[in-house]
Structure 1
């Protein structure tokens, strides 16, 4: 992360480099007029060093500026967006190092074409304001991009889990139940479990768990499933074993969470899933599913039972295993939450690997297409009394060559008592996917033509439509008007 002091250095370095290039002054010429070495000037421009006041005065004279004008964070209109971005606090929290970007590379990019870069940044900032996008959204988008960069498989975390198992002398026997996980926390980290403290406070009902670091007590709320409790315990083991510094202590990350905290939460969650579901064992499970010539929901149900995990943990683990071991990288994962009227649905979590797949979350108020199995499975669970419903569907995207095989697991929200949710794993239909899973050729697989939202869909006579195709109608009207103008 970049400190406030680093930001000041970057801004000065950017301004000096811009002035030098704008005035056509070479390093050698600036070194001669200021008495500073070329290497020292280079370090200033890269934001690595901040010169003393007497040297700043000499630099200001070389550029025919006042001292205050050079050191000020203000700039002319063309440079202002870049200065605003550097000074906004975004880079103080954004993990440049995780993306292989150094501060001096930023300065090079900003300086080589400041007019165009400034215009681009200004456009982005205006879009952010228009759509009321907060920094937390950027952090989450950055995290998803980070996962995509690595195909959502992290060898260092997988190895950490194996090292932990070796230290604890754990066998790969599954599942690791509540008692065993709680015992690991107690023996290894002197952490005790309190299953009543949170539930006594009605205001804290939204938190599934909270870790009190000073007391070394992990509070777990009542009403959770075995899979949810197991994941919370395994995740706390991850926090402790990985020695993650800046971290969340409650289940719900607050709005002020930094990217570092979000990344730590991801690492601990990844560790938990890898601990509960060993990679080598999961590969065998996927191979067993792949050999089946027909689609059998029970094959997924058996894994939920085998590992004693939640549907979300299971399908997320698939997003680690499939890209790395089976070269299936074109996939998406979404968590969908229903409202009481079963008309509007919100994507509360998503991951897209290799490209931006559909459906996807939008800040617009459009209605997601009800033809997706993610929604039909929620409707089914609301009408039946069951712990979960596992469903699958071949989804052909309207007027495109894209098709997805989607597995969806819906479950009632017993914890909060309102609505239901579904977890969906979507796999883009490719030759590699068809060659891996035999059941893809199953003629009994349900097929549906789908779109992203009702407002942008032109499927005629759709019996699942919950909103008029306003966007399509608008585009059609614009085309008709353009035709009328041509005929004048």
Structure 2
């Protein structure tokens, strides 16, 4: 048993006994002859009293000595003990949000019954929705990104410093061969492009890193943009001296939050290197100043960098909030298996506002009117089509919010008959209209959208694939509530 746990349990029990007897810390100090500061440190789990001090506390509080030193907690404090023993507080990246563990324990200890109910609720929700440790870590990371508007100056500066140190011209597209040479010559990598392709069960992996001999197994069928991104991530791990890292891409599982955070840092570095902030900012400024919308101009900007559509759209979530003050935006990635009625939201990020949609675990059907889903459908309608693009203004039927949404869809090269789309949505506001000179009243098609069919109130919707059962239930409950109110008023 850890000493820390023993100290915390003793402190929690002492505080509960003191409050049950309506004693202040000052009163307990007067009663026992022990200093108030010393008792305060005991209650916070910072100190464990010696035997003679426990005897004094036992006698003055009229509590058996064995009860004080026992690690058994009563039903009010038992949940706190379970939390401490489960190490869940060690899993939560509290320091990332400026929270100290002891402060959280104090909150729990001050209202154990209420906090116990809250924690139990959270646990039950997570069980019902199959919330894994990885999902929890990723949710924590998203909160961290959103708290910083998804822009990290130190990583940006490191990418620029690396390029300068290795004479990489950020005005030109970065080639994977340049990064490959650095990995081999500077960091002693061996790159094997044959081994991974021999293992059919590993066909979904792009690469595996073997740390013992610095061997990078890389799938031989990936395109240049994917290869460049993988090499840029490997450089990040080495250049930034990151040791606690993942060894596969995409990841299989996370062992700790540090691995989640380090994976994000390496990916961010790769994006900042491949799509340099000064270069992309200059090109976007020119695009936004155009009086007429020309989609080919955006396409040319994307193609000017050696990157995928997903990498580009994700990079916009760094650049737009920082350099254009466009902060009310979201990024979504959907995946779809051909001929399946289910579209899965596999990645999401919301800056400043919690825009719909969010990951849906209720087996509800996302609105088919979204451009995110329409681009996938457009891709699947033409078998030889390699990509599809779309743009629309989404007007939510249950709110006043409207979003300008750009979307791109491609097939997944590693999963048969799986297609995916990435979308960037920007809240329509006076600021956005001022920034985007081409954004006029009739520039883009406007579509009224819902969130899921089950919760949508749009009438005569041709795209609907399920009845609005959730909405209907809400309406029935309101009717019942109104009827009850009328009955009560009639008898008043």
Segment of structure 1 superposing worse, 117-126 or 274-283: 117-126
Where does residue 451 of structure 1 map in the other structure? 450
Where does residue 393 of structure 1 map in the other structure? 392
TM-aligned CA deviation for residue 213 of structure 1:
0.5
Does residue 121 of structure 2 align to residue 123 of structure 1? yes
Where does residue 473 of structure 1 map in the other structure? 472
Secondary structure, counterpart of 1:231 in structure 2? helix
Secondary structure, counterpart of 1:309 in structure 2? coil
Segment of structure 1 superposing worse, 470-479 or 443-452: 470-479
Segment of structure 1 superposing worse, 56-65 or 456-465: 56-65
Pairs within 5 Å for 1:374-393: 374-384=372-382, 385-393=384-392
- Consecutive unaligned residues of structure 1, counting only runs of 5 or more, are none
- How far apart, CA to CA, are the structure 1 residues paired with 2:133 and 2:219? 29
TM-aligned CA deviation for residue 8 of structure 1:
4.7
Q: 2:154 aligns with which of 148, 153, 156?
A: 156
Render the CA deviation track for 1:149-169: whole Å, top value 9, x for unaligned. Answer: 111111121122122223223
TM-aligned CA deviation for residue 55 of structure 1:
4.8
TM-aligned CA deviation for residue 121 of structure 1:
2.0
Contact preservation (8 Å) 2:398, 2:450: no
- How far apart, CA to CA, are the structure 1 residues paired with 2:381 and 2:246? 36
Where does residue 461 of structure 1 map in the other structure? 460
Contact preservation (8 Å) 2:392, 2:406: yes
Contact preservation (8 Å) 1:247, 1:261: yes
Contact preservation (8 Å) 2:224, 2:306: yes
User: For residues 108 and 360 of structure 1, do their structure 2 counterparts lie closer, same or farther at Cα, with a shift above 3 Å needed?
Assistant: same
- How far apart, CA to CA, are the structure 2 residues paired with 1:169 and 1:52? 63
Segment of structure 1 superposing worse, 101-110 or 347-356: 101-110
Where does residue 284 of structure 2 map in the other structure? 286
Contact preservation (8 Å) 1:393, 1:405: yes
User: For residues 49 and 469 of structure 1, do their structure 2 counterparts lie closer, same or farther at Cα, with a shift above 3 Å needed?
Assistant: same
Where does residue 218 of structure 1 map in the other structure? 216
Where does residue 275 of structure 1 map in the other structure? 273
- How far apart, CA to CA, are the structure 1 residues paired with 2:114 and 2:483? 37
- How far apart, CA to CA, are the structure 1 residues paired with 2:6 and 2:325? 44
- How far apart, CA to CA, are the structure 2 residues paired with 1:283 and 1:4? 52
Indicate the RMSD between aligned Cα atoms, in angstroms: 2.4
TM-aligned CA deviation for residue 442 of structure 1:
5.6
User: For residues 314 and 54 of structure 1, do their structure 2 counterparts lie closer, same or farther at Cα, with a shift above 3 Å needed?
Assistant: farther
The runs of 4+ residues in structure 1 deviating greater than 6 Å are: none
Q: 2:240 aligns with which of 239, 242, 256?
A: 242
Contact preservation (8 Å) 1:47, 1:103: no
Aligned length: 486
Render the CA deviation track for 1:77-130: whole Å, top value 9, x for unaligned. Answer: 333333333332221121111100012221332233333323322322232233
Segment of structure 1 superposing worse, 475-484 or 464-473: 475-484
Where does residue 440 of structure 1 map in the other structure? 439
- Consecutive unaligned residues of structure 2, counting only runs of 5 or more, are 488-492
Secondary structure, counterpart of 2:225 in structure 1? helix
Contact preservation (8 Å) 2:246, 2:254: no
